[in-house]
C-alpha cells in the first residue's frame, strides 16, 4: 500500500535521505527509527507530496505521489511532527477544517466528528479551544485530525513527542487500533521502546541512510545473543580479549559487544587495567534495538 523505491532527497549539496527502499502494507505498523536529523520527516514530506524527491519513486495506494499527487494524497492521513492545529479553534472546528481539507462533505463530518472525538477520548472537550488542552490532549487531537477521513495510509511523525507516559500508552493503543482496522501505518520515532512494542517491521535510518530493515526478530538476530557493555572511566587504548567486539571507543567511554557479558566482566576489567585504563562505571544491556543501533552506527540513538 506504501512503496518507496530508492528515494533520495537532497537540499542543495546536503543529502537528507538516500537510497531508501521500503514497502509497507495494510494492517501493519511500519517503524522508521532513527535519531534527530536522520531524515525521517523529510521522508514523510516526500510521501505527502510536500517535497519533490530528488530521485526515486513513491507510490501510495498505487498512485505515484509526483505524477498523481492528488489521488495519492486522497489515500493519505498525516499527523505531523509539530502540533499542526488552529489553537483558537475548538476541537470540533479543527476536525471540521481538516475534514474539509480532505474533501469530506458537511454531512460526512457531522457523522464522523463525534466518532473520532470519542475514539481519542476528547468528546467532552469538543467545544473547547485547542489552546486550553494539555500536551497529551493536543497530541491526540493532532492524531485525530489525521484519521478523520479513514485514510488507507497513515503517516505519523513522532506522534508521542513531548507527552507524559500515560498519554503515550494511550496514543500507542490508538495507533494499533488503526492498523487493526486495516490502515498501513508508517510510524517514525527515535524511541526504541516504542518501536519495539508497536512495530511489525522496522527500518533503522541514520544520516539519511538505511542501515537495517526487517521484522523485530530479524533485527534482533543481527545482534546475535550478545549483550552490550557500556563502560565509563579512562581508556588509553581499547582492550580486545577473544570474542569481544569494540563498538565504540574514546578517552572516557568504551562500548563492547560481548556474549554472556555478566560472566566475562572480571576478565574485561583485568584487560583494561593491564592496558593502563581504569573503569569507573559499567552497564550491561540485553540485546535490543538500542544495542543494534549502537552496533551499526557506533553511537547512541539519543544523544
Ligand X SMILES: Nc1ncnc2c1ncn2[C@@H]1O[C@H](COP(=O)(O)OP(=O)(O)O)[C@@H](O)[C@H]1O
Which residues contribute to the site for ligand X (CB under 6 A)? 11, 14, 16, 34, 36-42
The reply on whether position 86 binds other proteins by CB under 8 A is yes
Nearest approach in angstroms of CB 9 to ligand X is: 8
- Of 41 and 297, which has the nearer Cβ to ligand X? 41
Q: Specify the stretch interacting with other proteins by CB under 8 A; choose among 41-49, 166-174, 187-195, 208-216.
A: 41-49
Specify the residue, 49 or 121, whose C-beta has the smaller distance to other proteins: 49
Nearer to Mg ion by C-beta: 91 or 204?
204
Least distance to other proteins from the beta carbon of 92, Å?
12
Closest to ligand X by CB, 15 vs 74, is: 15
Please tell me whether residue 189 binds Mg ion under the rule CB under 5 A: no
Nearer to ligand X, 39 or 287 (CB): 39
Q: Please select the residue that binds other proteins; options are 51, 154, 186, 202, rule is CB under 8 A.
A: 51
Kindly provide the b/e burial profile for residues 185-221, where b requires at least 16 CB atoms within 10 angstroms of the residue's own CB: bbbbbbbbebbbebbebbbbbbebbbbbbeebeebbe
> From other proteins, Mg ion, ligand X, none, which one binds at residue 14 (CB under 5 to 8 Å depending on kind)?
ligand X
Is the CB of 16 or the CB of 289 nearer to ligand X?
Answer: 16
Q: Which region, judged by CB under 5 A, interacts with Mg ion, from 17-25, 79-87, 161-169, 170-178?
A: 79-87
Q: Are 232 and 252 in contact (CB under 8 A)?
A: yes
With CB under 5 A as the contact rule, the residue among 4, 9, 41, 293 that binds Mg ion is 41
CB 31 within 8 A of CB 202: yes
In the chain, beta strands by DSSP E: 2-11, 14-24, 29-33, 55-60, 63-64, 76-79, 153-157, 184-189, 201-206, 209-215, 226-234, 244-249, 253-259, 278-285
Whole-angstrom distance, CA of residue 42 vs CA of residue 17: 7
Which residue number is nearest to Mg ion in terms of Cβ? 41
Distance from C-alpha of 198 to C-alpha of 190, rounded to nearest angstrom: 13
- Cell 493519505 locates to 76
* 160 near Mg ion, rule: CB under 5 A: no
SS3 of 6, please? strand
Site residues, Mg ion (CB under 5 A): 40-41, 81
Site residues, other proteins (CB under 8 A): 45, 48-52, 70-71, 73-74, 76, 78, 80-86, 88-89, 93, 96-98, 100-103, 105-106, 129, 145
Amino acid at each position: 500500500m506504501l512503496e518507496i523505491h530508492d528515494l533520495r532527497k537532497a537540499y542543495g549539496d546536503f543529502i537528507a535521505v538516500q537510497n531508501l527502499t521500503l514497502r509497507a502494507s495494510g494492517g501493519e505498523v511500519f517503524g522508521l527509527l532513527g535519531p534527530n536529523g536522520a531524515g525521517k520527516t523529510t521522508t514523510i514530506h516526500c510521501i505527502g507530496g510536500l517535497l519533490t524527491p530528488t530521485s526515486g519513486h513513491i507510490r501510495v495506494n498505487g498512485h505515484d505521489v509526483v505524477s498523481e499527487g492528488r489521488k495519492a494524497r486522497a489515500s493519505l492521513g498525516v499527523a505531523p511532527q509539530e502540533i499542526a492545529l488552529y489553537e483558537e479553534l475548538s476541537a470540533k472546528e479543527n476536525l471540521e477544517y481538516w475534514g474539509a481539507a480532505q474533501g469530506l462533505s458537511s454531512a460526512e463530518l457531522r457523522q464522523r466528528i463525534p466518532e473520532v472525538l470519542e475514539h481519542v477520548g476528547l468528546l467532552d472537550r469538543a467545544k473547547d479551544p485547542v489552546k486550553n488542552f494539555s500536551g497529551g490532549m493536543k497530541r491526540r487531537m493532532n492524531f485525530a485530525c489525521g484519521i478523520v477521513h479513514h485514510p488507507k495510509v497513515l503517516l505519523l511523525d513522532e506522534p508521542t513527542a513531548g507527552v507524559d507516559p500515560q498519554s503515550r500508552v494511550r496514543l500507542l493503543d490508538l495507533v494499533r487500533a488503526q492498523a487493526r482496522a486495516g490502515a498501513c501505518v508508517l510510524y517514525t520515532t527515535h524511541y526504541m521502546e516504542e518501536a519495539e512494542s508497536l512495530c511489525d517491521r522496522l527500518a533503522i535510518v541514520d544520516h539519511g541512510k538505511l542501515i537495517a530493515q526487517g521484522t523485530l526478530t530479524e533485527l534482533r538476530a543481527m545482534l546475535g545473543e550478545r549483550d552490550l557493555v557500556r563502560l565509563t572511566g579512562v581508556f588509553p587504548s581499547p582492550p580486545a580479549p577473544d570474542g569481544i567486539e569494540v563498538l565504540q571507543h574514546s578517552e572516557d567511554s568504551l562500548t563492547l559487544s560481548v556474549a554472556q557479558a555478566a560472566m566475562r566482566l572480571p576478565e574485561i576489567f583485568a584487560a583494561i587495567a593491564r592496558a593502563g585504563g581504569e573503569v569507573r562505571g559499567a552497564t550491561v544491556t540485553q540485546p535490543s534495538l538500542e544495542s543494534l543501533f549502537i552496533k551499526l552506527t557506533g553511537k547512541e540513538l539519543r544523544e
